[in-house]
Chain A
Amino acid sequence: MKRKFILILVLFLFTGCAPLTYRTNSAFDTYFKEKKRVLVLSPDMKIYKLTAGGVDQYQEDWSFESNKYMKDEIKSELDSFKTIDFAYLDTNSLGQADKQFIDEQKSIYYTVASSVVVHTYEPALLMKHKLKDFDYTMGIELSEIKNIQDAEVILFVSGRNYIWTAGRASLAFLSGAVGLFTGVYLPVPAGKELLAASLVDVKTGDILWFNYLAMPGDMRMEKTVRRLSKKLFRDFPEEWRDTVRWELRKEQGNE
């Protein structure tokens, strides 16, 4: 019994570990040889309450807090790229139509990101050719963002969190206990959680770089968000950092 319990615990821990490997498309290697203007959109964090029966309820206050934390953390992470000037888009200053366009692009990004996760990360549904030839796109409509702010690359960050109610936690505990006694375990699934970040080419809408964290944890907490953003941008391609730095130094006449 003890051995069985340890095995289950180990399996549980492993499934909770997120792969930190990022994905890049074929254009990525040469794409950043020239300096690019990168526009950072405010993150799209949505936090839901997940009830005992599996009904998800969007939580405005929690999402607001999470967005605020993530926005600050992204800025602090990107500030460490001393040689790159990221531009941040302040959607509050935009008109209704522009705001809606940005919201639509964020929705499209989330849909594409979900598909990337399913087909290039989840072992059961992995499409090897997609992994080999990573060719995801948001479509050329993204280029219209130039009417709002000039940029060549957009940084998207999208997160979904499903916080269990006490009822769901209690049901999961009971289900586990019943499973332990009877050998029949009825799963109480978590929501489809994710935290993803991408660099997207404005002209084509192609995803150049994609990183993803599964089961990110409670993204209502500032501490968690800080930890996650560090993880997310730890995988920011080193080559890119160096290339851009070199390009900038050359421009400044130091090379």
Chain B
Amino acid sequence: MNKVTSMVLILFATTFLISCASTNFENIENISKFEHVEDEKSLWKEVEEVQKKLVNSSAIYPDKDLQNYVNGVLDKLVAGNEVNWGADIEAHVIYNSDFNAAMWPNGFMIVHTGLLAHLDNEAQLATILGHELTHFLHRHSLKSRNKLVNITAALGTIRVAAVGAAYGLAYNGYDPSGIDDLHNAIALGFEGAYYGYSRATEFDADEGGFDLVKERGYDVKEAKAAMENMLVATELVEKKGEIPYFYSSHPKTKLRIKNYSKFINDLSKDVDLKSTISNGEQEYMNHIKNMLIDNLSLDIKKKNIKLAKRQIERYSKAYSDDYKSLYYEAMILLREDKKDEAIEKLSKSKQLNSQHPDTLKELGVLLYKKGDKDEAKDNFRNYLILQPDAKDADFIRRYLDE
């Protein structure tokens, strides 16, 4: 290797090295007094701006009781350590039927109604919250961002070096075409490394979340059950392209179930797995009652009928049928073109609550189509009394005047 080549190589290596950002930070739970590491404060500040907008937007599910309950469970996991972590750890329920939850770098957590709708109890909720909390405690956002900084820097440096190398080869009479393939292969390798890292952080969060569930005394088997619930729900998604996989960037749920089985088996060798606190099934179901109905209405809109049906079944099992559940059952039957059964459900819904405008309107439409015009008109009239300014009010009025 001649002097020029050595110097060029040293220059490229230096460029890459000074471009590197650290990914090796202490986990927050291990620090006695929290201090921001480099670039962390700015990252927090950046997300705070988006957070402010989100908190005051209609994306938040407007159920204070559910919000408080979720944060109560989160508080159990945090166990008063927040003061040492330098952040306000708070969860917000987002009105969205996708199976998702996320932790922002500053301790701001979001949990979708779509995820809550498929869990059975508080222990399962604690598993999800514990997973997300671990992302915060292990500074995964910052580490992932810095990993991206390093990978893109390496790719940029290699890209420029590849041009130089190809020129050098051609200058010395060799075929330079292999350099392009080599560059592409390296780029692919780096991309794989990034996704591998992202996957590793998810497994790390699973393990951390599992430990928190165990330490707070919940039944650890419920951690695995939460994933199994997700698997069942995921398999019912009909519009797979439209609804992301549970934690879309997460490893496959089956693999995660396997991991949770391993965590449980490893633990059962050393300790008694008996839980010390209740799994809080009844309490959980009490808090998600209204949300379950609202969330399934989103799935119906998205034509995820099987998924909506599962939620209706869970609703009917946990609570007795009410006018809302009967209404949505009718909506599902309509999607399946079962009009007579839908009329039956809507009539029952009307018996339980004759003041629900949607029930009256749908019943009116179905009876009109069936030819029962007097009954249809009765329902439409009552609908207009309740919703005189509805978008379709004029249209219905014209029909009634005919």
Chain A residues within CB distance 8 Å of chain B: 49, 51-55, 57-61, 97, 100, 103-104, 165-168, 170-171, 174-175, 178-179, 181-182, 184, 186, 188
* Cβ of B399 to closest chain A Cβ, rounded Å: 36
> Contact between B153 and A52 (Cβ–Cβ < 8 Å)?
yes
Please indicate the chain B residues that have their CB under 8 angstroms from the CB of A54 in the complex: 152, 156
B163 A170 Cβ-Cβ under 8 A = no
- The 8 A CB mask of B1-36 against A (1 = contact, 0 = none) is 000000000011011101111000000000000000
CB distance from B219 to the nearest CB of A (A): 41
Among residues of B, the one whose C-beta sits closest to the C-beta of A54 is B152
Determine which of B16, B145, B149, B163 lies in contact with A184 in the assembled complex, contact meaning CB atoms within 8 Å. Answer: B163
How far apart sit A82 and B156, CA to CA, in the bound complex (Å)? Answer: 53
Task: Confirm or deny: B42 has a beta carbon within 8 angstroms of a beta carbon on chain A.
Answer: yes
Q: A51-B149, A53-B152, A54-B156 are in contact. Are A181 and B18 (CB under 8 A)?
A: no
CA distance A57 to B148 in the complex (A): 12
B167 x A184 contact (CB < 8 A): yes
- B53 sits at the interface (CB 8 A): yes
The residue from B19, B42, B155, B163 contacting A167, defined by CB atoms under 8 A apart: B19
With a cutoff of 8 Å between Cβ atoms, the chain B residues found around residue A175 in the complex are: 160
Residues of B with C-beta under 8 A to A181: 164, 167
Question: Within the assembled complex, what's the spacing in Å between the Cα atoms of A59 and B167?
Answer: 39
Contact A165 B19 (CB under 8 A): yes
- Say what secondary structure dominates the interface of chain B: helix
B152: chain A residues at CB < 8 Å are: 51-55
Cβ B167 vs Cβ A167 within 8 A: no
Question: Is A53 a contact of B164 with CB atoms below 8 Å?
Answer: no
Q: Tell me the smallest distance from the CB of B21 to a CB of chain A, in Å.
A: 7
With a cutoff of 8 Å between Cβ atoms, the chain A residues found around residue B46 in the complex are 58, 60
Q: Is B159 an interface residue (CB 8 A)?
A: yes
- Residues of chain A with a CB closer than 8 A to B369's CB: none
A-B contact pairs, 13 of them (CB 8 A): A52-B19, A52-B149, A53-B154, A53-B156, A54-B156, A167-B20, A170-B14, A171-B15, A174-B11, A174-B160, A182-B163, A182-B164, A188-B156
Residues of A within 8 Å of B167, CB to CB, are 178, 181-182, 184
